[in-house]
Structure 1
Amino acid sequence: MNNVKINSYQFLILVTFFSMGTSILIIPSVLAEGAKQSAWIVAIVGTIIGLFIIWLFCLIAQWFPNLTFVQITEKILGKWLGKAISLLFVIMSNIYAAQLIFYSGIFLNIHFMPNTPMMALNILFAIVIVIGVRFDLETIARSAEIFILFFLVLFILLVLFILPEIKLENIQPIFEVGPKAIFQTTLPLIEVTSVNAIVILMIFPAFINNFKQAKKSFYIGYCISGFVIIVLTFLCISVLGAYSTAAEFHPSYELAKRINIGNFIQRIEALMAGLWIMALYFKATIYFYVSVFGLAQIFNMNEYKPLTIPLGIVVVVLSLVMYPSVVYLQHWNATIGIYFSYSIGLLLPLLLIIINTVRKTHLKKESL
C-alpha cells in the first residue's frame, strides 16, 4: 500500500481543496453571526493562527518522514494505545466524510432537486467518492490537477462579476466587536481549515516524492484556500450585509444570485455551486480515503480496497441517520464536533510532540 507517490504540486492542490471544502459556502455565515461586519477580519486572523497548526503538522512529519499518522501514533504511544487513538482518528474521518455527503445532499435538495429524496442524492455522491478512492491516491491527485483550473476560472469570474455590487458601508464600522469576540469566532474557521487537516498526515510526507517541496506546498495550499475564504467572506459582508450573511445557510450561493451585468449576465449562481461541489468532493474523498486506509493499517491489512464498499455504506447511513436536520447539524458542530476536532487535530499532535521530545531528551542523557 506504500508504493503510491504524488508530486508536491498535486499535494498543494489537494491541500487547497481540503482547506476550502465546505468553508467557501458556509463559513461566511458562521463568521458573520459571531463578528458581524468584522467577519472578514476574523477570516484573516483565523488563517494566520492556522499557520501555526500547519507548522505543528510539518514538525511531526519531519520527524517521521516515511510513516503515516496511524504509524506515527503507534510508534510514539505504543502498539495498543496507539491503535486505540488511531481508531478515534479514523472514526473522526469517517464521520466528517458522512457530514460532507449530508452537506452535498441538502444543498442539491434545497436549490436544485427539491423533489429528489435525500437518500438518492447521498448515495450517488458516495458512489463517486468510493470510485475515486478505489482508483487510489494518484488518480485523485491527477483529477484534482484538472479541476483546479476550472475552479480558479469560476472563482475569478465570480469575483469580477460581483464587484459592481459591493457597498463599502456594509463593512462599517470596522472593529465594532472586541478582540474576544473575534478570537472566539475564529474557532470554527480554524477547525475546518487547519485543525481537521490532521488527516493530511496520512498522505504527507509518506506518499510525497519530495519532502522539502511538499512542506512548502502544505503552507502555500493552505494560504491559497485562506485567501479564497477571506475574499468570499468580504464579498458576502460587503454585498449582502452582515445580518443577511448571518441569516443565510449558504450565503456565498446567495451572493452569486446578486450578479447582474447589464441585465444580461445574471442568475449564474451555478458558478458558486460548481465551485463548492468541486471543493466538497475532494475534501470528502480525502476524508474517506484516510478512514479506509487508516483502518487497513490499524488491522495490518495488505490492501485497503476491500474496505471501501462496506465503509461507503456506513458513510451513507451516517449521513442519513446522524444528521436528521440542518439545525441539529449546526448544534452538533458547535458542541460535540468542535471538541472532537480540537482533541484529535490539536491536542493529540501536541501530546505526540511533547512525548517524542521528552523521549529524545531522555535518550540523549542516557547516551551521555
Structure 2
Amino acid sequence: MQDVKINSYQFLILVIFFTVGTSILTVPSALAADAKQDAWIAAIIGTGIGLLVIWLFITIALWFPHLTYIQINEKVFGKWVGKTFSVLFVLMSFLYTSQLLYYRGSYLNIHALPSTPMVVLNILMVGIVVMGVRLGLETIARSAEILIVVFFVLLLILVVFISPEIKFENIQPVFEMGTKKIVQSSLFYFITSSVNAVILLMIFPSFINKMKQVKKSFLIGNLIGGIVIIIITFLSVAVLGPENTARQSYPSYELAKRINVGDFVQRIEGLMAALWIIALYFKTVLYFYASVLGMAQILNLKDYRPLTFPLGMIAVVLSLVVYPNVIYQQNWDSTTGNSLSLSIGLFSPLLLVVVYAIRKKQLKKET
C-alpha cells in the first residue's frame, strides 16, 4: 500500500474538493442563521482559523513523513492506546461517509428525483465510491485533476450569471452582529472544512512524492476551498437575503434557480447541481478511503480492498438510518457532530503533540 504515490498538485486538488465538499451546500444557511448579513465575514474568519488547524496537521505529519495518521497514533501513544484512538478515528470517518451519502441522497430526492427511493440513489453512489477506492488513490487523484476544471467552469458560470441579482442592501449594516457572535457562528464551517481534514493525514505526506511543495499544497488547497465558500456565502446573502438564506436547506441551489439572463439563460440549476455532486463525491471518497485504509492498518492487513464491499454495504444501510429527519440532522450537526469532530480532529492531535513532546527523545532513539 505504501507504493502508491500522487504529486503535490493532485493533493492540492483533493484538499480543495474536501474543503468545499458539503460546505457549499450547508454552510451558507448555517452561518446566516447566526451571523445574519455578516455570514460572509464569518466564513472569512472560519477560513483563517482553519489555516491554523491545517498548520497543526502539517507539523504532526512532518514529524513522521513516511507514516499515516493511524501509524503515527501507534508510534506516539503506544500499541493499545494508539489503536484505541485509531478505532475512534476510523469510526468517525466511516460515520461521515454515511452522512455524506445521506446528504446527496436527500438533496437529489428533494430537488431532482423525488420518485426515486433514497436507497437506490445511495447504492448507486456507493457503487462509484467503492469503485474509485478499489482502483486506488492514484486513480482518484487523476480523475480529480480532470473534474476540477469542470468544477471551476461551473462555478464561474454561477458567479457571472447571478452577479446582476446582487443587492448590497442585503449585506448592510456590516458587522451589526458584533465580533463575538460572528466568530462563534464560524465554528461550524471551521470544523467541517478544516478540523475534519485530519482524515487527509492518511494521505499526507506518506503518499506524496514531492516533499518540498507538499506543505504549500495543503495550506493553499484549504485556502482556495475557503475562498469558494466565502464567495458562495456572500452571493447567497447578497441575492437571497440573510433570512431567506437561513431558511433554505440548500441556499446555493436556490441561488442557481434565480439565474435569469435576458429571459433566455434560466432554469440551469440542474447543470449547477453537477458542481455540488462533484465536490460531494470526492469528499465521500476521501472519507471512505481513510476508513478502509485505517481499518486495514489497525488489523495489520496487507491490502485494504477486501474491506471495500462489506464496508460499502454497511455505509448504505447506515446512511438510511443515520438521520431520522431533517430537524434531527440539523440539531445533530450543530451539537453532537461538532463535539465529535473537535474531539477526534482537534483535541486528539493536540494530545498527540503533548505526548510527542514528552516522549521525543525516546521516539528518536527507537527510530
TM-score interval, normalised by the smaller of the two chains: over 0.9
Who is 2:98 aligned against?
98
Deviation at 1:272, TM superposition (A): 2.6
Deviation at 1:358, TM superposition (A): 2.0
1:18 has 2:49 as partner: no
Who is 1:228 aligned against?
228
User: How far apart, in 1, do the equivalents of 2:353 and 2:159 lie?
Assistant: 41
Pairing 1:1-368 to 2, within 5 Å after superposition: 1-360=1-360
Deviation at 1:331, TM superposition (A): 1.2
Contact 1:6 1:209 in 2 (8 A): yes
Deviation per CA, 1:27-86: give whole Å up to 9, x if none. Answer: 000000010000000000000000100000000011000000000000000001101110
Deviation at 1:336, TM superposition (A): 1.2
User: How far apart, in 1, do the equivalents of 2:360 and 2:82 lie?
Assistant: 18
User: How far apart, in 1, do the equivalents of 2:361 and 2:237 lie?
Assistant: 50
User: Once superposed, which parts of structure 1, at least 4 consecutive aligned residues long, lie more than 2 Å away?
Assistant: 360-364
Aligned AA (1:273): A
What TM-score do you get using the length of structure 2 for normalisation? Answer: 0.98
Aligned AA (2:224): I
- The count of aligned residue pairs is 365
Deviation at 1:271, TM superposition (A): 3.2
Q: How big is the alpha-carbon RMSD for the aligned residues of Structure 1 and Structure 2?
A: 1.2
Deviation at 1:228, TM superposition (A): 0.3
What TM-score do you get using the length of structure 1 for normalisation? Answer: 0.98
User: How far apart, in 2, do the equivalents of 1:103 and 1:37 lie?
Assistant: 25
Aligned AA (2:153): V
Aligned AA (1:304): Y
Aligned AA (2:14): L
Secondary structure, counterpart of 2:186 in structure 1: helix
Secondary structure, counterpart of 2:5 in structure 1: coil
Aligned AA (2:51): L
Deviation per CA, 1:84-133: give whole Å up to 9, x if none. Answer: 11000000000000000000000000001101111111111111101110
Contact 1:252 1:272 in 2 (8 A): no
User: How far apart, in 2, do the equivalents of 1:26 and 1:334 lie?
Assistant: 11
User: How far apart, in 2, do the equivalents of 1:129 and 1:257 lie?
Assistant: 29
Percent identical: 61
Aligned AA (1:37): Q
User: How far apart, in 2, do the equivalents of 1:60 and 1:363 lie?
Assistant: 14
Aligned AA (2:124): L
User: How far apart, in 1, do the equivalents of 2:271 and 2:161 lie?
Assistant: 11
User: How far apart, in 2, do the equivalents of 1:260 and 1:220 lie?
Assistant: 34
Deviation at 1:363, TM superposition (A): 8.1
- Change in 2 beyond 3 A, CA 1:363/1:70: closer
Contact 1:68 1:206 in 2 (8 A): yes
Q: Which structure 2 segments of 5+ residues have no match?
A: none
User: How far apart, in 1, do the equivalents of 2:184 and 2:53 lie?
Assistant: 17
Aligned AA (1:60): I
Contact 1:256 1:271 in 2 (8 A): no
Q: Which structure 1 segments of 5+ residues have no match?
A: none
Aligned AA (1:216): K
Deviation at 1:184, TM superposition (A): 1.2
User: How far apart, in 2, do the equivalents of 1:231 and 1:310 lie?
Assistant: 39
Aligned AA (2:96): Y
User: How far apart, in 2, do the equivalents of 1:328 and 1:51 lie?
Assistant: 30
